Every structure is written in structure tokens, then in C-alpha cells.
Structure 1
């Protein structure tokens, strides 16, 4: 009887002659590899008649699914791509302040104690984004108007509260559409105590529209041509090549002008593409910029379309220091606007300096929020369903009118080519009111 191991093959399975010469069995059609099965199914599905049949079922199902989903969920979609190296260098890195807040550096024209630590009548920094319902508008309503009465004596132009705006003469002529910003100023601000200065990069004194307002408000309105070298005198930008930057959108040079003008003269900056809706006087105990919109964007949280700083403010001095020590601005960007304000605010916090205020979005940019609580589109006719009024009345004395009397400005974001619809809410609740208010001044 042989031992079991004597019956083992003399070759391994790999080297066995029997296995080496055995032909592979043909694969059964039912055992096709999975990828080949899927490829076959796709080819079948892509046949025109089958593809059409599939779409007839899939598309309605998809539409129903989207509609049902929107009943339960509120989508918020915003895609922005930022270079990580840029973010690290320009945003996350916080260099020290430039020394503008040191006692020896503060200008005698700037009352440091009152500006930084003085008592305030109103609060304008909400501390939250105020995204829900009417929260932002209700907060704006807590800022009560000042009741100063007429001044005892006429206030000369240079002693008035200065308001500034800017128009690029080489981009477009100053016309009737731009005139509405002037009318909104004369109708809503205290023309006995305030002066609006229209800055430009060319002479506008021959413009017939502007001549009319110069004649009507000789102390409350003035024209000036930007002189970058003169405005930058005494700042870190003095003599810098950065004073010669500009772009086709007027963003870079516009942002530069607003900072230089407010530094040299102090006061309020209002972008020309705005309509003022109420007196800004109760805000002016604060130095401020505004929130960009209600979404609290991470890298562009602030806007300078409406801003206020005192003459020779160290806040602006520090802004100039950042401009000089940072890479040159990219054309067509807000490098000297939103990004600059963010850099400045972070450096102030790191340096232990109370930062400037940031007005909530609806104070000047109530168009920039969700469909349910933003102001209606100024350039479309009134919708028949009335949803744009947020459930309130559309006429004077109604809910929308009440909201407009709480906020301070309507920023239109350079949409100069779009007309205000005849009979629309802008015409009914703002433009006609401007005309009445200016007319009542003539009557008085």
C-alpha cells in the first residue's frame, strides 16, 4: 500500500504539462464582465427611440422633485474661487499698524478723544447680519432723526457738513439721470447746514443742469476738479505713482478719490449711483463704511458707496499706509475698496484700536439680499401679485413707503442704462417726492 504522498503530481500547477496545454474554456454570454454589460446597456439606452422614451419619464420626474424640494428647502448658491496663496498674503496676514494713531501722528484737526471714545446718541453697528424678515429695516428705524430747527445765522459753505460725490467726465456726460442724485440730496438733507461737492476729472462748470443747481443752492452745492497731488499732500501717497492709476470701470480711481477727498475735507461720501432717502445727519457722530450685502461675504464684507470719516482721520491715514505697502491694485477690482477696508479693520483689531463702524446692509444697499426681504427691483414694473412689497401696501403711507423712510440710501450699482419705469415704485415713492420737497423749498 503506497503512501498518500506518492500519488502527488511531480509538477506544480503552474508547470504541469496537462495544465500548460489545456485550452481556456469559452466564456459564457451570461458571464460577460460587468463593464461590458454596462457598455451594452448604455448603447441600448442611447438609441434615439429609447433615449426619447427615457427623457419623457426622467424630465417630468426631475421637475417634480425640484419643485417638491423647493417647498421644503431654501437654496443658497454662491460660487467664488480665491487663490489660497493670495488669501494668505492679502487677507490672513495681519501686519502691524503704520503708527497713525500715535499721539504725535494724529492731526490737530482730528479730535481723537471725541472721535474714538466720545458719547454717542445712536447705535449703528447691529452686531449681527440682520438677514431675517424686516429686522434690518426695523433696526434702521431705531436711528431717530435730529430736530435741529433752522440755524440762527446762515452757515457759509466751508463751515457746513461736507458731502462728496464723483463723476468721470470721460466715461459719460452728466445728464438727467445723474441729476436725480442731486435732487435726492437737496430733497432729503439739511440744505441750510450741508454742502454737496460734485468732484470730477474734468471741468463741469459749463453743464446747463449743474449751472441750474449752482444758482439755486449757491451755499449748498459746489463743483471741484480732482487734483490728486494736492489731495494727497501730507500722506504716504504724496508723490507716489499710485496716484496715476485708473481703469475703464472707474473702480480703482473712484476708490482712491473717495479716500483722498474725505481725508482732505472730511465728511460723507455718496456714490453717484445712489438715491438718498432720508437725512444722514444722525449717523454722522460715527465714522463708518457699510456692509456689502446681507450675505456677509467672507472676503468682501464692506462697501464704501456710503461712508463717513472726519478730516485727517487716522483711519484713512492707516488706509494710505496699507495702499503704499501692499501690491498695486488690480484693475477692475475692489482692492482699494472692500479688500482695503477688510485689511484695515483687521489691523485695527490686532492693534487694540476700536475700529470704524459698519452700517448694516439695508441702510444703503437694501437691494442686496434674499427675494423675501430685499427692496424690489427699481428697474422693473410693479409685479401684479404684490410680493415685491413684502406683503405691505405699495402706495404712499404703505409698507414699502415706510421702509424707504427708515433706510438712508438706495444704491443702484452703476445701472445707468436702465430707465426707471413710468409709474413704478421709484417714481411714485422717491422721484415725485423729491420734486415736491424741492418745490416746497421754493414756496417757503
Structure 2
């Protein structure tokens, strides 16, 4: 390349015309400028729409081939969750001391510590493994045999029965036929001579025609009650606390609070309204327990309260109230008073030398929450018996799915109220029709 100088005259009014001199490069071979570099040419071609389309046509099949081949050799387990480290450190890992609810001077006279914590038990609900493979969890549930008890010689007074509790928020939705299925499942599977279902609500449900029917049919085994937080919290650390007024649009916070308060005050079993009971819970009730969230052993949310049992004035619940009053208020729409609370409490009990409450395996009440190969089919989809179901479940009564349902204790539907049960689907065939037959409602 050779250099040259070029002069350009500048014309300025009223002055002489100076000359601007500048320097520029002149190529020694003009033809070199007209030939683009190969890399520039390739990039421009690929960036054109036609080039992008050609690249996609090649890349997508290759990616699909790699994924398919990879799935033949590897089993992916993908779950992404983000937890604030400071929250984990403060709310989960920190181990504060117990409140002393298990000390002899603090335990209620109605609670027998020796029997509850150290007395002999006839059933085992801790398998010692995660029960994630095949039918392990269902088979373990089947080892818990039903109680063989004759009918009582006399009518057991309502307040002396095993109390079962559930809750419905009247301001969120009306109590209708879909909610009625939980009641039907209770009357069809539980011993109505020895138990009573208490339907709690935040408003008066006594004029509901569906509920009036069941009140008339089971006057000793069914009752409606309105939640009085102050009354239920009497004698606990929550008495008079502003925490009793906590609520959210999902009914998670107040629902978790009601669970603990009513079982503290009355003792018994809690069942979330979005559940269907499948067998008698009586064999489990020698234990105090919550349930496993799912089969994946989630690190910070391993437990669920959709099905739980504690005795009246249980020191476990006394300690739970202490944790609640000495922790930050629950965040809206969270399980801070549910899964997180149970984890914090259980860790404190173990650190304090107290035998912790039991945790039922996931399939006992949440068999929908596991891998595709061993979870129950979707209750709201048509029967998936097309080869994807690999456990050999049959479609009808007496088949594999039916046998599994007879081993587990409940099916938790996770608030999917807007989804109907498919006509002729497995829920209708193997559960709903059976409920109605058991309680004499076939023609209803």
C-alpha cells in the first residue's frame, strides 16, 4: 500500500482560501478490496433467513437423536428450586431450644407421655428406606392390616369417639357436590360407630342442603362447627396473639393454623378437604404423625399436613406453637406454618432428645407425587393404560390399580377443584361408585 497526500481548498468569506491537507492510504491493488474474506462470507450466509432455516433443519434432528439415545441409557431427575441462603440458615438450620412442653409439670393430664412416646405399638409406619422403587411403598402400606373389631354394644357418645377434622372456607367457594365426595369417602371407609367427622368453617354452613342430608343420616358421626381462633388457642402461647388473624387468599396460612388448633383442642385426625379416603385409618392411630410430602425427599419441605394425627393437648403441638410465636410471621401463600414448621419442630425434638412424631411414607396419602412409573394415574385424565403405565395395573375391580388403592389410606388431590373426574375414569369406577354402594347411595 502506498501513501499520498491530497489538498482540498477551503473557501472562507472575507479571508484567503487556506488549504486543508490530509493523508490517506491508497491501495496498491484495487482488486483486493472487492474480495470479502471467507469467514465474513460464511457468517453473512448463515445469518440470512435461508441459512438459519437450514441450520435448524440439521440441528433439531441431531438434538432429538442425542436426547432419545441419552434417555435409553440415563434416567433424568430434574427439579429446580431456589432458597434464600439467609432464610435457610435462620429458619431451617438454626436449632433453638425446646419450650419444655414434655416436662412432667407442663404435660396436660389428658396426655399420657409414656403410652404415646414409649408404649408398645402394633403397627410400624417407618419403613427405614425411601420406598421410591416400583411397588415398594404400596406393598409396605399393605403390611398394615385393618383392625378386626366387633360393633360396639352401645352407642358411643360423640365426644368419646375418634375425632376427624376438616376445614372449608366459605368465602372462597360454596360447598357443593365436588366437596361432598370427601364426606362420602369418610362415611364409606371409616368406622362410623366409633368416629366422628367435624367439618370446620369460617362461616355458618348449617343451611347447606347437602350437609343437612348428612347431618340427618349420621347425627352421631358428623357435626358442623365454626372456627373460633381465640377459644381454640386458649392455654397456648398463641392465646391473644395477632398471629391468630393471619390469613391469605389460598387459605394456606389459616388452613395450617386451624389444623394445629383444632387437634390441640380436641385431638384426633386432620384430613384436608381435597382428599378422598380409601381405607380405615384406625390402624395408624396409635402413632402421632404427619405425612411425607412426596417420594423425592425434598430437602426443605419433606413433610405435609394434609393427613395428620395428634392426641389432645399433645406436647408436640405445644412445641409447634412455641416455634410459631418465636419465628417471623408466615409469608403469604407459603407453607411456613406447614412443611417448614414441621421440619423445624422435628429437628428441635431430635436435638432435645425427644422421640419425634412419625412421618408416614408418601403413598399412604400422596401416591400421586412420585415418578411416572410408580405414581397413581392422574385422577383428572382419561385412563392412561396405554403402555406408559409400567406397573401392570389392571383396569377394573380386582386389578393391580384397585389392589394398590386398597393398600393406601387416602388420595390427596391438591386443591384441583376446577377439574372434574372423567366420566368412566378410574376414580369413578374404583372409588366413587364404591363409596356410594357402601353408604347406600347407588341411585343418588
On the 8 A contact 2:165/2:197 being kept in 1, the answer is: yes
| Pair 1:161–1:48, CA change in 2 (3 A) | same
**Separation in structure 2 between the aligned mates of residue 324 and residue 396 of structure 1, nearest angstrom:** 49
Q: CA deviation at 1:48?
A: 2.1
Q: CA deviation at 1:127?
A: 2.1
Counterpart of 2:130 in structure 1 is 129
Structure 2, unmatched stretches of 5+, are: 1-24, 28-36
1:160 aligns with 2:161: yes
**Cα distance per residue 1:385-417 (max 9 Å; x no partner):** 153372121100010000000000000000000
Other structure's SS at 1:426 match:
helix
Question: Counterparts of 2:56 and 2:236 in 1: how far apart (Å)?
Answer: 66
Q: Is the counterpart of residue 256 in structure 1 residue 257 in structure 2?
A: yes
The answer on 1:381 being equivalent to 2:403 is: no
Q: Residue 312 of structure 1 corresponds to which residue in structure 2? A: 313
User: Does the aligned pair in 2 maintain the 1:376–1:389 contact within 8 Å?
Assistant: no
1:426 aligned partner: 427
Q: For 1:153-192, what aligned pairs fall within 5 Å after superposition? A: 153-192=154-193
Structure 1: 4+ residue segments shifted above 4 A: 36-41
Q: Which residue in the other structure is 1:281 paired with?
A: 282
Kept in 2: contact 1:167–1:198 (CA 8 A): yes
CA drift at 1:54: 1.8
Distance 1:285 1:440 in 2: 32
Assess if the C-alpha contact under 8 Å between 2:300 and 2:340 holds in 1: yes
Q: CA deviation at 1:41?
A: 4.5
Q: Deviations over 1:69-122 (max 9, x none)?
A: 111111111110011111000011110001111110000010110001000000
Give the drift of 1:284: 0.1
Structure 2 partner of 1:416? 417
In 2, the alpha carbon distance for the partners of 1:351 and 1:364 equals 29
Cα offsets for 1:242-273 (capped at 9, x unmatched):
00010000000000000000000000000000
The 1:441/1:425 distance shift into structure 2, 3 A limit, reads closer
Tell me the secondary structure at the aligned position of residue 370 of structure 1. coil
Q: CA deviation at 1:225?
A: 0.3
Distance 1:122 1:178 in 2: 31
Q: 1:165: how far off?
A: 0.2
The whole-number CA distance in structure 2 between the counterparts of 1:43 and 1:257 is 66
Q: Which residue of 2 aligns with 1:216?
A: 217
* 1:137-156 CA distance string (max 9 Å, x none): 00000001000110111111
Tell me the alpha carbon deviations over residues 147-182 of structure 1, each in whole angstroms, 9 at most, x when there is no partner.
Answer: 011011111111100000000000000000000000
Taking a change above 3 Å as real, the CA distance of residues 63 and 224 of structure 1, as seen in their structure-2 partners, is same
Contact 1:375 1:388 in 2 (8 A): no
Contact 2:433–2:442, Cα closer than 8 Å, also in 1: no
Alpha-carbon separation, structure 2, partners of 1:383 and 1:140: 24
Whether the aligned pair in 2 keeps the contact of 1:110 and 1:312 (CA below 8 Å) is: yes
Equivalence for 1:269: 270
Secondary structure at 2:89's aligned position in 1?
helix
Would you say how many aligned residue pairs link Structure 1 and Structure 2?
A: 412
Higher mean alpha-carbon deviation, 328-337 vs 144-153, is at 144-153
Q: SS in structure 1 opposite 2:439?
A: helix
1:346-373, Cα deviation, whole Å (9 max, x unpaired): 0001000000000000000000000000
Native 8 Å contact 2:253 2:332 kept in 1 = yes
Measured on the aligned residues, the alpha-carbon RMSD in Å equals 2.0
Residues in 1 aligned to 2:266 and 2:183: alpha-carbon distance in whole angstroms: 20
Matches within 5 A, 1:279-428: 279-385=280-386, 387-388=388-389, 390-428=391-429
TM-score of the superposed pair, with normalisation by structure 1: 0.90
Shift of 1:128: 1.7
1:440 positional shift? 8.6
Cα shift readout 1:204-256 (whole Å, capped 9, x = no counterpart)? 00000000000000000000000000000000000000000100000000000
Q: Distance in 2 between matches of 1:38 and 1:394?
A: 62
Distance in 1 between the 2:398 and 2:325 partners? 50
Task: Find the aligned partners of 2:44 and 2:348 in 1 and give their Cα distance.
Answer: 61
Structure-2 separation of matches of 1:257 and 1:75: 39
Q: Tell me, what secondary structure is at the counterpart of 1:305?
A: strand
Q: Is the 8 A contact 1:389 1:400 kept in 2?
A: no
- Output the CA distance in 2 between the equivalents of 1:73 and 1:266: 48
